[in-house]
Structures are given as structure tokens and as C-alpha cells.
Structure 1
Amino acid sequence: MDWPVSSQPQSAAVSSDAAEWASGICDCCQDMKQCCFAFWCFPCFACKTSKDFDQCLCLPLLDICGGCVFPASMSMRTYVRLRYGIKGTLCNDCVCSTFCLPCVWCQMATERKKREIPTVLGDIISRW
């Protein structure tokens, strides 16, 4: 059975007033709990973060097959950057994902925490 297409995919364009990352690539120690989880049990942390972004839980495990380039982590970083309208390039995503994988995943987890914090007032109003 064919389903009609109700909307066409839109291109993701980052404007000149695009946002910056909420934390730097080396700011992973700002949240020590998250930092310890990422550095001591990185596969679990990456899988949890991937799941938090509604992606496949096992997506980060594909990086095992990547060699010196980590395609799943690079594509996840690009996805997060485009989702939140953050400035950057694919080349920068590749470099960051290649040289400091735990830092990249901490940065993405921090971004999600800072951008998707529910507001108490919004929850109260939505219940009315």
C-alpha cells in the first residue's frame, strides 16, 4: 500500500547568526559525573547518549569498524550540529571525532542537556 507524502524534506541551512556549541570540545570536565562515565565506560556512555537523541542505541558501536576515522560519531556530531543550528563544518566534525572521541560525545550530551531542559512554568501552562 502506498502512502501519500504529506511534506517534502527540507534542506538544513545554517544561517550566519547560527549558534555556538554550549560547551567547548575540551570542557568535558565541567560535569564530572558525565566526564567519569564517558572516560571509564565510553561504549556505554556513547550508546546512552545516542539513545537520548532518539537514535539507534547501538549506533556508536559501528565505530569499531571505522579504523582511524569514526563515521558514526562524526555523523552523530553533524546531526546534533544541524539539529540545533550550530556553526561548524563537516571537516571540523571529522577532526574532532578522530582525535578526541570521548570529548565529542560529552560535548553532544552537554548540548542536549542545556538545550532540552524542561521549564516548570511551561509544564504548568501545558496542563491547563
Structure 2
Amino acid sequence: MEVESSKTQADGEYWSTGFCDCFSDCSNCCITFWCPCITFGQIAEIVDRGSTSCGTAGAIYVLIAALVGCGCIYSCFYRIKMRRQYNLKGSDCGDCLKHFFCEVCALTQAYRELNNRGFDVPLGWHGNVERQNAGVAMGAPVVEGGMMR
């Protein structure tokens, strides 16, 4: 008989910073306030592990914001995805409410979370992978001297 874990998303880890700690990083807070599409695009690229580019995600955010008047409809789903990837405390409904009522705080918290997990968010996914692999030789191993017998 296999025992299933009773651990749910509500039992996960706490976020590394508070929801209202927006002003701990004034530059990101200002960028997010004036152009949330930039911060969102950077977050989405890392959460999607490079399968969505920062520019594409940001453009979709702007398009949704222009058509519906509320880009948070798109961004709350990335918060949910990120929360699940890192097993962070919260709920789907709570994520959407946070994005609806304070998009700046929600985006800057996600940005800080990724930074605190070791990502240089402005570099994007591929830039972070290159940075992580710096100094690691890629390709087949080098065999010196050939066969000796």
C-alpha cells in the first residue's frame, strides 16, 4: 500500500519577502509601476524556462491590458505557475486577487523571489543558464595520447 503525501500548496514554503515589501527594491518598483509589462515579461521568461521570451510575454501582457484594461488577468496565472514550481504558500484565488488589487506588489514580489532563488532576472532564462555554465566545458571529453599498450 502506497501512502500519499498530505502536503498541499498551503503547506509549502513561505515567500522569501513579504507582499508589501515593494519599496525594498525601488528601481524595480518604479519600473513595475510605470511599465509592468517589462517586469512581467522577465518573470514569465524565467518561470517558463525560456520557452516564452521576455518580449513575447510582455507584448501579450500589453495586448491584454489594451483590450480588456487589465493585464493582471494574464500575470496571475504566472504567479500560480511560479508558486507551484517552488512549492510556495498560497492559493490560486489569492494569487488572482493579489494581482487584481495590487499588480505592482504582486509582480515585484515574484521578481524578488526569483532574485532570492539565484536568478539575475534581467538576464532572462538563457542568460542565467549561460552564467551558471560559465567555466564548464561543453562537448565531448578530450582524450589525450590515444591508446597505449
TM-score, normalization: structure 2?
0.61
Residues 25/66 of structure 1: CA separation in 2 closer, same or farther (3 Å cut): farther
Cα RMSD, aligned residues only:
2.9
Count of matched residue positions in the alignment of Structure 1 and Structure 2: 111
Please give the alpha-carbon distance, in whole angstroms, between the structure 2 residues aligned to 1:62 and 1:89. 26
Counterparts of 1:5-84 in structure 2, within 5 Å, are 14=8, 17-53=11-47, 54=50, 55-57=52-54, 58-59=56-57, 60-64=61-65, 65-67=67-69, 70-84=72-86
Tell me which residue corresponds to 1:110. 112
Please give the alpha-carbon distance, in whole angstroms, between the structure 1 residues aligned to 2:42 and 2:9. 30
Q: Is 1:96 equivalent to 2:70 in the alignment?
A: no
Shift, 1:43, TM fit: 2.1
Shift, 1:17, TM fit: 4.6
Conserved in 2, the CA contact under 8 Å of 1:77 and 1:108? yes
Please give the alpha-carbon distance, in whole angstroms, between the structure 1 residues aligned to 2:80 and 2:107. 12
How far does the alpha carbon of each residue in 1:16-52 deviate from its partner, in whole angstroms, 9 at most, with x for none?
6510111111111111121121112222222233223
How far does the alpha carbon of each residue in 1:48-103 deviate from its partner, in whole angstroms, 9 at most, with x for none?
33223333433333541445583211100001100110011111011101101111
Please give the alpha-carbon distance, in whole angstroms, between the structure 2 residues aligned to 1:43 and 1:117. 19
Once the two structures are aligned, what percentage of the paired residues are identical?
27
Question: Unaligned 5+ residue runs, structure 2?
Answer: 1-6, 121-131, 138-149
Residues 50/38 of structure 1: CA separation in 2 closer, same or farther (3 Å cut): same
Conserved in 1, the CA contact under 8 Å of 2:62 and 2:71? no
Please give the alpha-carbon distance, in whole angstroms, between the structure 1 residues aligned to 2:10 and 2:72. 28
